[in-house]
Amino acid sequence: MAKIVLGVSSSIAIYKACDLIRALQKRNHEVQVVMTSKATQFISPHLFQALTAKPVLVNLFGEREAERLEHINLARQTELLLIAPATANIIAKMATGIADDFLSTFYLAVECPVIVAPAMNEAMYLHPRTQANLAELYRQGVVICEPEKGYLACGEEGWGRLAEIETIVDLAQKVLASREKWKNKKILITAGPTREPIDPVRFISNRSSGKMGYELAQEGRRRGAEVILISGPTSLPSPYKVKVIRVETANEMKREVEKYFDEVEVIIMAAAVADFRPAEVMNSKWKKTQGVPEIKFVLTEDILGYLMVHPLRQEKIIVGFAAETENLEAEAKKKLKEKGLDLIVANNISCPGIGFEADFNDVLILDRYGQQIHSGIKSKREISQLIFEAIEAYREKLT
Ligand code: CTP
């Protein structure tokens, strides 16, 4: 049972909000409705008040004395903010931080998870501005309950129909459950490539973009964990509410991992750490007139190798990655065992369009108990969810 605030905005799908309230109450949740003022032109707040036995909040500076600071008090108590149906307008306001009514102000005040279930005409939903706003909300940690394709209230067929009530409620249950699982837990994630300098202007690196690690960081945060992201050089923006530590070399990455290792419970080594670095870094730029340099390479420090012999190793769940061009399963099993990992995520980097630099991946997730998940080709965002599900399932086996 959770305290849920249901934000209702002025989509024609508003009539479904009544069923949604009932479905949430059936699962024993306490529902408080907040409406936008335009929504009150579709349905009277009295209806929601009757269903929830609570006054509906609409205005920031309402008539009731209590309403004036309500958004702060209510924000502290709320365990889930669910906005359904969500119009293009409320999505745009949330994305940009406009706070001109109770609901949009409330969004800025809450610390709890937020789910948005859009409902609008297809052209509005697919408009690049709306899509960009939804992407921004995702970056801010909001869970998007994607609309479905079907008959729309405007008389057209298309994308934009509010997700089924059961889908929304199931998602709410899932979000609340994962919050419980990750409450007060810290995760350390490494991401991106490392850069190993040759001279002041040159380095060797690899093709990792950091996308997988950054998606994992966002997913961890969305599930309610505290996330520390140690990132090699990438062009990606820092995920919202994630502590990002930027490093360049394998050595620097190792130093930061060491620093935070004690305080975290889960470590996900998604970084493509360089295996070799030039034995010597030249102090000044190597000039062409000096001829072709002969560079001697040495191995970088093995970060996972260091973690595995750490005295606190047994208290942690360590997830490694493996980038392979052939024999994916056999290599993954070998690395899982040899490196003493709890889980391994192996990706095939030989197929164009997936893996390094791509938005998609195709991975095999193995755990120490023989559990195997083959993702198939999916977005890195979806794969990050699968990885977290695998970690959660593994954790349950440990308890
Ligand atoms: N890794 C690490 N320290 C390094 C190199 C890699 O901790 N110096 C980690 C990576 O972050 C990844 C895992 O080791 O989680 C496996 O990396 P991968 O390059 O696939 O495997 P290697 O052990 O380096 O083996 P090889 O390159 O020979 O396949």
Nearest atom in ligand 1 to 323's CA: 20
The pLDDT value recorded for residue 72 is: 81
Q: Which of 300, 321, 336 to mutate to test the pocket of ligand 1 (most atoms within 8 A of CB)?
A: 321
Nearest CA residue ID for atom 16, ligand 1: 322
Ligand 1 center from residue 231 Cα (angstroms) = 15
Domains 3-180 and 184-398 share a fold: yes
pLDDT tens track of the chain, all 399 residues?
A: 999 999 999 999 999 999 999 999 999 999 999 999 999 999 999 999 999 999 999 987 666 655 556 778 889 999 999 999 999 999 999 999 999 999 999 999 998 999 999 999 999 999 999 999 999 999 899 999 999 998 877 777 889 999 999 999 999 999 999 999 999 999 999 999 999 999 999 999 999 999 999 999 999 999 999 999 999 999 999 999 999 999 999 999 999 999 999 999 999 999 999 999 999 999 999 999 999 999 999 999 999 999 999 999 999 999 999 988 888 899 999 999 999 999 999 998 877 777 777 889 999 999 999 999 999 999 999 999 999 999 999 999 988
Nearest CA residue ID for atom 28, ligand 1: 275
Alpha-carbon distance of 115 to 30, in angstroms, equals 16
351 annotated active-site:
no
Assess whether the C-beta atom of 5 lies below 6 angstroms from ligand 1.
Answer: no
Assess whether the C-beta atom of 346 lies below 6 angstroms from ligand 1.
Answer: no
Nearest CA residue ID for atom 21, ligand 1: 322
Task: Please state whether beta strands 143-144 and 203-204 pair in parallel, antiparallel, or not at all (unpaired).
Answer: unpaired
Assess whether the C-beta atom of 271 lies below 6 angstroms from ligand 1.
Answer: yes
Assess whether the C-beta atom of 323 lies below 6 angstroms from ligand 1.
Answer: yes
Nearest CA residue ID for atom 22, ligand 1: 322
Q: Which CATH architecture has domain 3-180?
A: 3-Layer(aba) Sandwich (3.40)
In CATH, the number for domain 184-398 is 3.40.50.10300
Sequence ranges of the domains in the chain: 3-180, 184-398
Ligand 1 center from residue 100 Cα (angstroms) = 50
